[in-house]
Amino acid sequence: MKCMVRLQVLPSRMCLNRIDQISIHSRNAVFRDFVFVSITYRIALVETFCICYHAFMEELVKIQTLRQKYASVKKVLHERGRRIWAATEAQQLGWGGISLVEKAIGMSHTTIRRGLREIQVDKVNDLFPEQSRLPGGGRKKLTEHYPDVPDALESLIDPVMRGDPESPLRWTCKSTRLLANELNRQGYDISASTVGSLLRELEYSLQGNKKTREGTDHPDRNEQFLYINDQVKRFLQSGQPVISVDTKKKENLGNFSNKGREYCPKGKSVETNMHDFPNKELGKAIPYGVYDIGRNEGWVNIGITHDTAQFAANSIRRWWTRMGRYRFPRATRLLMTADAGGSDGYTLRLWKLELQKLATFMGVNITVCHFPPGTSKWNKIEHRLFSFITQNWRGRPLYDLTTVVNLISNTTTSKGLIVKSAVDTKVYPKGIIVTDDELATIKLKPHHFHGEWNYTIKK
């Protein structure tokens, strides 16, 4: 009733409300249509996503399968075999197969298409099993593009003999990288790996220095070798001692690196000093060796001052006191082979004077045979004793004299080498002069053959 009154009183306002009701109804209808269309669109989107996801998963499965197949056959296939295998798989997959194979194994689509063409025109059987390409196929060798590149390379490696003495690489390390850079500068398009291959074709290889040159050979070099060999045989046959003597290389004491490698736990190698500056407190070790040729035994006297003739003679005296006199209780003669130079060289007066004192002390005649100049490596002690000592302490720092003695004393070989060692703390001064009167007291008798090299000092 109240509404009726209001409508009668305000007819214009009623019209307006009616219009609003009609508008609201229209808007609701449009909204319902929009909601229906929106739901339908969403359903279509979900269906499309499901289809795409299913296709994507199928592609992933195919790619994974192809990768597993390729991993199992690629090790036994050469270039042509891999190409034909990839083309066959792409052909079996049908549309999109080339792209799938390319994604799976990383082979170029052009290579796969080439394999397909070979299958279609039946070119597979035109090649022998070991061939990958038709005759003439592939990139040409560098020497065909640059026929003179071998000569250019050799001129850089050996500039004095084959090329320009003013070569830019004469005074540098000739690595393949530097050689390739220099050849590129000269106009050759070449890489370091190709330089390495070319060097191997030219029969070049990395080599270290070879110690073979001994200087000027003495005319009687071989005759002296034969004479020494004859003397050694005579002494050994008569049961007399024969020793080889020499001084080993001086060694710095301390935490210094030593050449060679030794087994250690992974990542726990022995850490040593960066520099090899001598330790003044620890000093150096001077090993003087005496090797018994007949019994395969050695004695090493470790000096700490100077390598002099007195030190050499005292080392032999200590060998005789510790080992020699017990091995040869009835010895009347002693043969000694030594180098031409050093502390026991044949030109040293002090060496011969000390030998006279040693012969008197031992009560035996001492015969000495020196090797010719430049032939010290022929001395037996070098490769019968010193070489094995070096092997035994490879990769081990010589921290102190105790370490040196222990490593030397524990040196053995499969042939039963026995080595003993001790430290000689005696001080041996340098610069001792032997007078003519002292030299005259030496009972030295030169041999008929090269008396300066071969002589006997009587007790």
Delimit the domains of the chain by residue range: 14-126, 142-201, 221-257+279-457
- DSSP-assigned beta bridge partners for residue 302: 287, 423
The pLDDT of residue 163: 45
| Mean pLDDT over the full length of the chain | 83
**Going by C-beta distance under 8 Å and a sequence separation of 6 or more, which residues neighbour residue 180?**
190, 191, 192, 194, 195
Helices (H) and strands (E) in the chain, counts: 18, 9
Using alpha carbons, select from 304, 290, 313 the residue that is nearest to residue 418: 290
The pLDDT of residue 4: 41
Q: Which pLDDT tens digit goes with each residue over 234-283? A: 999 999 999 999 999 999 999 888 888 877 788 888 888 888 888 888 99
Q: Using CA atoms, how far apart are residues 385 and 301, in angstroms rounded to an integer?
A: 13
The pLDDT of residue 382: 92
The pLDDT of residue 73: 82
Per the CB < 8 A criterion, the answer to whether 253 and 283 are in contact is: yes
The pLDDT of residue 160: 43
Residue 454 phi, psi (nearest 5): -120, 120
Per the CB < 8 A criterion, the answer to whether 248 and 290 are in contact is: no
Question: pTM to 2 decimals?
Answer: 0.62
Per the CB < 8 A criterion, the answer to whether 418 and 294 are in contact is: no
Q: Which pLDDT tens digit goes with each residue over 428-451? A: 999 999 999 999 999 999 999 999
Q: Which two tokens stand for residue 152?
A: 């250019």
The pLDDT of residue 28: 56
The pLDDT of residue 2: 39
Per the CB < 8 A criterion, the answer to whether 114 and 79 are in contact is: no
CA 407 to chain centre: 25
Q: Which pLDDT tens digit goes with each residue over 82-131? A: 888 888 888 888 888 888 888 888 888 888 888 888 877 765 555 555 56
Is the model's pLDDT at 368 over the cut of 60?
A: yes
Residue 198 binned pLDDT confidence (cut-offs 50, 70, 90): confident
Q: Using CA atoms, how far apart are residues 191 and 195, in angstroms rounded to an integer?
A: 6
Is the model's pLDDT at 159 over the cut of 70?
A: no
User: Which range has the top average pLDDT, 42-51, 143-152, 408-417?
Assistant: 408-417
Q: Using CA atoms, how far apart are residues 279 and 281, in angstroms rounded to an integer?
A: 5
* Average pLDDT of span 402-406: 94
> Which of 279 and 225 is assigned the larger pLDDT?
225
- DSSP-assigned beta bridge partners for residue 337: 244, 369
Per the CB < 8 A criterion, the answer to whether 303 and 428 are in contact is: yes
Q: What is the DSSP annotation of 225-248?
A: HHHHHHHHHHHHHTT--EEEEEEP
Helix axes 11-73, 97-105, angle to 10 degrees: 60
Strand pairing class (365-370; 418-424): unpaired
Using alpha carbons, select from 243, 120, 142 the residue that is nearest to residue 188: 142
Q: Taking the CB of residue 393, how many other CB atoms lie within 10 A of it?
A: 21
Residue 16 binned pLDDT confidence (cut-offs 50, 70, 90): very low
The pLDDT of residue 328: 95
Q: Which pLDDT tens digit goes with each residue over 293-352? A: 999 999 999 999 999 999 999 999 999 999 999 999 999 999 999 999 999 999 999 999
CA 252 to chain centre: 25
Name the 3-class secondary structure at 299. Answer: strand
Q: Which two tokens stand for residue 172?
A: 């540098």
Residue 1 binned pLDDT confidence (cut-offs 50, 70, 90): very low
* Average pLDDT of span 156-174: 55
* Average pLDDT of span 163-167: 50
* Average pLDDT of span 19-33: 53
Contacts 24+ apart (CB under 8 A), 374-379: 374/214, 374/215, 374/216, 374/217, 374/340, 375/214, 375/221, 375/225, 375/340, 376/246, 376/339, 376/340, 376/341, 378/225, 379/244, 379/246, 379/337, 379/338, 379/339
Per the CB < 8 A criterion, the answer to whether 245 and 289 are in contact is: yes
Q: Using CA atoms, how far apart are residues 422 and 301, in angstroms rounded to an integer?
A: 6
The pLDDT of residue 350: 96
Q: Which two tokens stand for residue 320?
A: 């005789």
Q: What is the CATH number of domain 221-257+279-457?
A: 3.30.420.10
Q: Using CA atoms, how far apart are residues 446 and 347, in angstroms rounded to an integer?
A: 13
